[in-house]
Each structure stands twice: as structure tokens, then as C-alpha cells.
Amino acid sequence: MNAVDPDFLEKITSLLADPAYQSNPLCQPLADLLEYSEQQRLRLERVLRISDGYQHLARHDKHNLLLQYDRQVRRLEKLARISDRYQNSLREVSEALKEAALHDPLTHLGNRRFLMERLREESERATRQGLPYAVGILDVDHFKRVNDQFGHELGDEVLCKIAGAIEGALREYDLCGRWGGEEFLIILPDTTISFAVPVVERVLAEIRSIRIALPGQAFGGVTASIGITAYLSGESYAQSINRADAALLAAKAAGRNRIELAVAGEPLSCDDGAVRTSRK
Amino acid sequence: MNALTIEGSQSTPYIVADWDKGCLLMKGDSYPENSFDFFGPVIDWIERYLADTSAPLRLELRLVYMNTSSVKAMMDIFDLLEAVHAQGRAVRVDWFYDPRNERVLGLADEFREDCSFPFEIGIDA
């Protein structure tokens, strides 16, 4: 039998109303049972209605939560996207600043700060691993004359060409930079002084071969002098630099356009490949 | 208090709100230590202005760098504008950027996404 069969209820009601059964003792209890059943039916319907209402409400809430969740996820993605872009732009700025802080804007070579950092690293490495490295200070000969005779613009061009010449003559793992003014520093890692000499000779030869075309004027070219030394394990790089500087002065004093070698305490001179001893 | 002025610093933008003109200006970098505290009064001002008046509101932004919590505060502000715009309120954002810093253009454009109120991005002359 289904939950509510109207025909069935109808039949009971008409039986109860039939005068022929009024004296039947089951008549009243049956009427009570019918009433009770009707009440239960109404009760059940009410429970179902309330339950459905709750379910509907829960579904509605869930739907809203999903919408909110999607919205928050989209917001978070947008926030992350924008924030990442800001972060990237900061990183680019920081890279550019780092580049600017370590490079010479004219020649694009490393600047003094860059060189000092490398000298420190190379000295630590050389001391730790017992490997030699050579360092040279190069100074352009009579650079003031170039500036005075042809102007600072050409002077700047000469410096750029010299920077290019040095870079071109060095081996891939050698380092160079602008030490200041018309002075350049060369670092030759894993290199003894005798292996450094041919590399440095190549540098000077490259500088001699620089040609600049000037309308109506003859630019006679430039030469450079260089003092080189080997880093001594355990010493401060400033000591090596001082030795190289002294060798550079000796090269200047000996007539420029040449290499002078300095061993600790005893500078050596090298002219066009022919090495000779000379006192400071 | 209908006046709002926050002096700028190295890490916070200069902010000035003009109730009568219905205009709020923010200018500079924004990476305050506590963005919630910093932007609280700004968001309050906007909410009060939108609740107490029915006049148009214009945001003039000249922001350069923003940290993540500032970006979030700005998105919250744009959400406020979006909500009242949906009810027919006249609101707009004018974002000016320095042509030397083109990145800001892309960022402002990213912010503009999902905003249906008028949102102009222009070069700071």
C-alpha cells in the first residue's frame, strides 16, 4: 500500500459512518486509529518540508561558498601576479645597480671596486690551493699629450680602444679592468710570471696596433707600459699591487712602451722578450 | 574628520583626500611595515565618503613601487569602487606613470583587469 491511498481512507470513513456498524465495539477504536494515522501523516509531511528547507539552505550556502572561493582564488592569483611583477622590476633595478657599481661606464670594463673584489678572491684561492697568479698594472704612455693635442673626446675613444685591445689579447679566463684614469689592471689566474710575459707582450702589441682615423690630422698611435708581478702566497694583494706599481714606474723610467717584472724585493726587466735583470 | 593627509616617507606614499572635490591622491612608493595600519584610514575615508555622500569619487594614483600587502590594499579599494559602481555611483581611477618607468604601465594595466568602472592609465606630464 502506498503512503496515502485516498480510496482506502475513503472506504474506512464510509464504513465508520455506516449505521449498521455503529454498535460494533471496534468502531470507536478504528475511528481513533484513523485520526491518529491522519495526524502522523501531517507530522511526516511537516518534517519533510522542514528537512527539504534545510537541505535547500545548505545547497545555497555551498554554492555561495564556492563562488566566494573561486573569487578569492582569482584575487590571490592576481595579487601574486602583480606582486611578482613588482619583485621582478626590483630585481632588474638591483641588477642594473650592481652592474653600474662594478663597471666603468666609459670602457665597460670592470672598475676598481670590481678589480679589488677579484683580487681578494684570487688571493684567497691562490693561498688556499697554492696556485700562482700574476697581476699587472698598465699605464698608457703620455696619455695627457693625447688629450691635450686631440681633445678629451678622442682621449676617451683611445681608452675604449685600449680596453678592447687588452680584452682581445687576454686569454678567456684572464681578468682586466680600469684601475683609474689611464691605468688598467690585468689579473692572470693560474699563471706563473714566465707564462705571464708572452700574454702581456701580446697586450702591448695590440695597443701599439691601435689606429684611429682623424680627418686632417695624424694620430700617431699609442703605447703603454706595464709592471707585472706574481702574487706570493699569504701576502695581501695590496703588497702585490705595490710591487707591480713599482715595476710600472721602472718601466716608465726605462723609456716606456715596455714590460717590467717585479719579483719580491728584486724587480726584473723584460724588453721585447729579452729578459734582463735591473735594480729598482 | 573629513580631511585626510598623510605625509609621504621613503617607504610610504603621500596621500591627500579632498572631501569637497571628491578626490583622493596617492603618490610615491608604498612598502609600509604594516599595510593594514597604514591603509586603514584611507579605506575608512573612502567608505565614509561613499556612505555619507552621493557625489562622484576620483582616485588619482601616482604610485611607483608597491609591496604585496599594499597591492592587496589597493585591490580592496578597487573592490569598494566596483561595488558602488555596480549600484550606479560615479567613480573613476586615473593612474599616472613616469614614461621612464614603463613597467608601471603594465602593472596598472594588471590592476585594471576586472574593473568595470572608468580606469585610465596616462603618462605623467
Residue type for B32, please?
P
Last residue of a domain, one of A102, A128, A161: A102
Q: Is residue A148 part of a domain?
A: yes
**What is the C-alpha separation between A35 and A7, in angstroms, rounded?**
16
Interface contact B21, partner A, CB < 8 A: no
Task: Please tell me whether the overall predicted TM-score, pTM, comes out greater than 0.80 for this model.
Answer: no
Domain of residue A268, residue span:
112-277
| Total number of domains in chain A | 2
Lowest mean pLDDT across A116-130, A211-225, A260-274: A260-274
Residues of chain B found within 8 Å of residue A90, distances taken between Cβ atoms: 65
Please report the ipTM that was assigned to this predicted complex: 0.86
**Percentage of chain A exceeding pLDDT 70:** 93
Same-domain status, A58 and A185: no
Q: What is the pLDDT of residue B114?
A: 87
With CA atoms as reference, the chain A residue closest to B111 would be A82
A with B: how many residue pairs have Cβ under 8 Å apart? 32
Q: How confident is the model at residue B15 (pLDDT cuts 50, 70, 90)?
A: very high
Gyration radius from chain A CA atoms: 48
- Which residues lie below 8 Å from residue B106, measured CB to CB, with a gap of 6+? A85
Of the partner residues A74, A79, A86, the one whose CB lies closest to the CB of residue B72:
A79
Domain boundary among A80, A102, A124: A102
Q: Note whether A272 and A263 are within 8 A (CB).
A: no
pLDDT for position B87: 96
At residue A275, does pLDDT exceed 90? Answer: no
**Does A76 lie in the same domain as A45?**
yes
How many of the other CB atoms lie within 10 Å of CB of B33?
10
B76 touches chain A (CB under 8 A): no
Instruction: With CB atoms and an 8 Å threshold, state whether A85 touches B75.
Output: no
- Please tell me which residue in A122, A182, A206, A260 is annotated as part of the active site: A182
For the question of residue A38 being annotated catalytic, the response is no
Tell me which chain B residues have a C-beta less than 8 angstroms from the C-beta of A94.
Answer: none
The answer as to whether A107 is a domain residue is: no
Is B75 an interface residue toward A (CB < 8 Å)? yes
CA-based nearest residue in chain B for residue A85 = B107
Q: Taking CA atoms, what residue in B is nearest to A82?
A: B107
Task: Indicate if the alpha-carbon torsion angle A168, A170, A172, A178 is positive or negative.
Answer: negative
Per-residue pLDDT of B52-108, as tens digits, reads: 999 999 999 999 999 999 999 999 999 999 999 999 999 999 999 999 888 899 999
How far CA A10 is from CA of A16, A29, A34, A44, B111, in Å, comes to 10, 17, 11, 20, 71
The CATH code of the domain that includes A248 is 3.30.70.270
Residue in the block written with cell 608604498: B30
Instruction: Say how many domains are in chain B.
Output: 1
Collapse the DSSP code of B7 into the 3-class scheme (helix H, G, I; strand E, B; otherwise coil) and give the result.
coil
Contacts of A75 in chain B (CB under 8 A): 75
Based on the domain organization, do A149 and A249 belong to the same domain?
A: yes
Query: How many angstroms separate the CA atoms of B19 and B2, rounded?
Result: 6
Q: Which CATH number covers residue B79?
A: 3.30.750
Sign of CA dihedral A143, A145, A150, A152: positive
Nearest to B65 among A75, A78, A90 (CB): A90
Tens of pLDDT, residue by residue over A18-73, are 998 888 899 999 999 999 999 999 999 999 999 999 999 999 999 999 999 999 99
Are residue A39 and residue A140 in the same domain, yes or no?
no
H-only helix segments in B1-125? 35-52, 68-86, 103-112
